[in-house]
Amino acid sequence: MAESLVFIDSGGVTAMALVVQKYGGTSVADSGRIRSVAERVIQRKQAGDDVVVVLSARAGDTDRLIQLAHQMSERPDPRELDVLLSTGEQITIALFSMAVMDLGCQCVSMTGYQAGIVTDHRFGKARISWIETLPIREQLETGNIVVVAGFQGYDDLGNITTLGRGGSDTTAVALAAALHADVCEIYTDVEGVYTTDPNIYGKARKLKKISYEEMLEMASMGAKVLHIRSVEFGMKYHVPIMVCSSFTDAPGTLVTKEDSDMEKVMVSSVTYSKHDARITVTDVPDVPGMAARIFRPMAAAAINVDMIIQGSGPVPGRANISFTVPKSDFARSMEIAEKTAHEIGAGAVHGNPNIAKVSVIGVGMRSHSGVASRMFDALSRLNINLIMISTSEIKVSCVIEDKYTELAVRVLHDTFELDKEPNGVLKVREE
Ligand code: ADP
Ligand code: ASP
Ligand code: MG
């Protein structure tokens, strides 16, 4: 691996940086967009930086490929599905490289395999295990702009794998970490990270910076502006991540280490997710080992169980266990839960896919109380029933009926006055 790619030239004034830039689906949606991104990248290269570009598939292409697969099979083979899905990104890297060359610049495209991105075996949600950086570095040394297909890698048996929806962010940050890049820039269709999804609430405010930890909670709780694992890589390897728009030159949001300013804000964002479903196993014998029996087969099936609540049911000696799973795994999770319930002598299994999770997040919560009660008050004033609640050091999440999602997001944003620029004085509610 390169020791450091930052150097001072003989005049002692120019610093060359290695930059990884990622452009999402809407940023490369058609030939016009691809050409305009090519021009941006060339400008950066001509300013003296080395540039590695990571591209997503054109907006809608991954969805179209999934639909195609379902025309062939109700449950497409996971290996073949990844072979198919990886083609979306191969279209953009080739088209983009042609555009760059047409504008008179040196450029080379690389698939995940050619870029040395090695993953585990989990088709559709593979994790990057390591990156062989030599092929990219060799291309950079010859003066090429290197264009890497996002969202894909290969396992140690040579199978093509994909990293899960939104995974091109993770390709970019992982490459930035492995190449010791100076910055990873994520270009998207909004101007940065906002206090909530700007497409849901017009009063959302763009943040100048946000800590890795808050961004990780935001991504985990549904803010799709960054893929969760990209933030994990950023935090672990201290990669500064700049989120900005590929459509404007407005300053973006820096995802970085926590600082004392950030702690002064009790709540920095509100997020929502409609990607989960709830399952309840009723009348579970209240004896040691039952939770393990229920969740072991879920883990074995690589199903990511999130919130878990156990409460005593109406029958003495019996408990109800409720938990959430990704909606995409709902049918399989129900099958597994029903089988286990039968084996352990539990009662009926109920499923509800019509739920949403709304969360408030902020590192300031560590040192200040009262956020949860303020959140519950605000939701109760709208008569929104809280189905499940979970908290972490810097987050409070509530599961509610999904029809109230947008309303809940707006009222929480107003309650914590997130549209206002923080003035450094922490507001604590007067009881
Ligand atoms: P890309 O295709 O560039 O990867 P995504 O659609 O994956 O873009 O992510 C950008 C979208 O994330 C925005 O259009 C916005 O609707 C959504 N989003 C959700 N929460 C936030 C937030 N807090 N700040 C900014 N964008 C958000
Ligand atoms: N093309 C993939 C998707 O649509 C990966 C990405 O865009 O990050 O999810
Ligand atoms: Mg994305």
Q: What is the pLDDT along the chain (431 residues), one digit of tens a residue?
A: 332 323 333 333 345 899 999 999 999 999 999 999 999 999 999 999 999 999 999 999 999 999 999 999 999 999 999 999 999 999 999 999 999 999 999 999 999 999 999 999 999 999 999 999 999 999 999 999 999 999 999 999 999 999 999 999 999 999 999 999 999 999 999 999 999 999 999 999 999 999 999 999 999 999 999 999 999 999 999 999 999 999 999 999 999 998 887 777 889 999 999 999 999 999 999 889 999 999 999 999 989 998 999 988 788 899 999 999 999 899 999 999 999 999 999 999 999 999 999 999 999 898 888 999 999 999 999 999 999 999 999 999 999 999 999 999 999 999 999 999 886 554 444 33
Residue 141 CA to ligand 2 center (angstroms) comes to: 29
Ligand 1 pocket by Cβ (under 6 Å): 24-27, 56, 166, 188-190, 193-194, 196-199, 223-225, 269
Domain shared by 73 and 111, yes or no:
yes
* Domain that residue 388 falls in: 355-415
Token look-up 């949860």 returns 372
In a domain, 267, yes or no: no
Residue 422 CA to ligand 3 center (angstroms) comes to: 28
Q: What's the rounded Cα separation, in Å, for the pair 420 and 417?
A: 6
Pocket test for ligand 2, best of 151, 184, 243 (most atoms within 8 A of CB): 151
Pocket test for ligand 2, best of 26, 53, 62 (most atoms within 8 A of CB): 62
Domain count, the chain: 3
Domain shared by 23 and 165, yes or no:
yes
Domain shared by 390 and 316, yes or no:
no
Domain shared by 219 and 295, yes or no:
no
Q: Are 191 and 182 in contact (CB under 8 A)?
A: no
What DSSP line would sit under 192-246, residue for residue?
Answer: S-BSS-TTT-TT--B-SEEEHHHHHHHHHTT-TTS-HHHHHHHHHHT--EEEEES
Domain shared by 242 and 343, yes or no:
no
Q: What's the rounded Cα separation, in Å, for the pair 226 and 150?
A: 13
Element (H, E) at 180: none
Ligand 2 pocket by Cβ (under 6 Å): 24-25, 56-57, 62, 88, 150-151, 165-168
In a domain, 265, yes or no: no
193 CA: nearest ligand 1 atom: 24
Report pLDDT for 126: 96
Domain shared by 200 and 348, yes or no:
no
In a domain, 269, yes or no: no
Residue 92 CA to ligand 2 center (angstroms) comes to: 12
Report pLDDT for 3: 29
164 CA: nearest ligand 2 atom: 9
Q: What's the rounded Cα separation, in Å, for the pair 215 and 233?
A: 12
In a domain, 264, yes or no: no
Q: Which ligand is nearest to the CA of 413?
A: 1
Residue closest via CA to ligand 2's atom 5 equals: 166
In a domain, 123, yes or no: yes
Report pLDDT for 431: 33
Residue closest via CA to ligand 1's atom 1 equals: 24
Report pLDDT for 423: 64
Domain shared by 329 and 370, yes or no:
no
Q: What's the rounded Cα separation, in Å, for the pair 152 and 82?
A: 8
166 CA: nearest ligand 2 atom: 8
SS3 277: strand
In a domain, 272, yes or no: no
Report pLDDT for 15: 57
Phi-psi region of 392 (alpha: psi -120 to 50; beta: other; left: phi over 0): beta
Domain shared by 105 and 208, yes or no:
yes
Q: Which ligand is nearest to the CA of 150?
A: 2
Token look-up 């297909």 returns 149
Cα-Cα end-to-end distance for the chain: 57
In a domain, 268, yes or no: no
In a domain, 33, yes or no: yes
* pTM score, whole prediction: 0.91
Domain shared by 226 and 348, yes or no:
no
Domain shared by 290 and 202, yes or no:
no
